[in-house]
Amino acid sequence: MTGALLLVANAAATWYLTGLIWVIQVVHYPLFSHAERATYPAFAEAHSRLITPVVGPVMLVELGTALWLLQDRPAVLPAGWAWAGAALVGVIWLSTAFVQVPLHAQLGGGYDARVHAALVGTNWIRTVAWSLRAILMGWVLVRALQSGS
């Protein structure tokens, strides 16, 4: 994969995920509190089942391309920026695995206002991290366009 294509693939995955996380953060997660309590476990299970194919493959693309950029870094991507981008991906994955997934598992047993509030509150970690990645990748692509790469 050429450096330019690698940058575009990483940026596209990041921008997709950034838009998605903002919709989840501002619209979807807050609406969890309005789901029917009697059927909440089924609602929570459906959310997890349906969101996984929407987010999972693109997260893998973002992770793979971020790691690839560490190894095959185009000149327009300073080393520090590549490491910062990879570190943000690490923050996102760690937060997902150790914070959001366990909170979703708890909500799978039924609605709990404290757990829901924790999910909405802690999801700002991913929202901010993806937003920073989106800005970073925007700067990188502007540099690439300016340099003709």
Res 149: pLDDT: 60
Res 83: pLDDT: 98
pTM over 0.75: yes
- Ranges of the chain with pLDDT below 50: none
Q: Give CB contacts under 8 A, 24+ apart, made by 58-61.
A: 58/13, 58/16, 58/17, 59/13, 59/17, 59/92, 59/93, 59/96, 61/9, 61/13
Res 1: pLDDT: 60
Cα(147)–Cα(134) distance, integer angstroms:
20
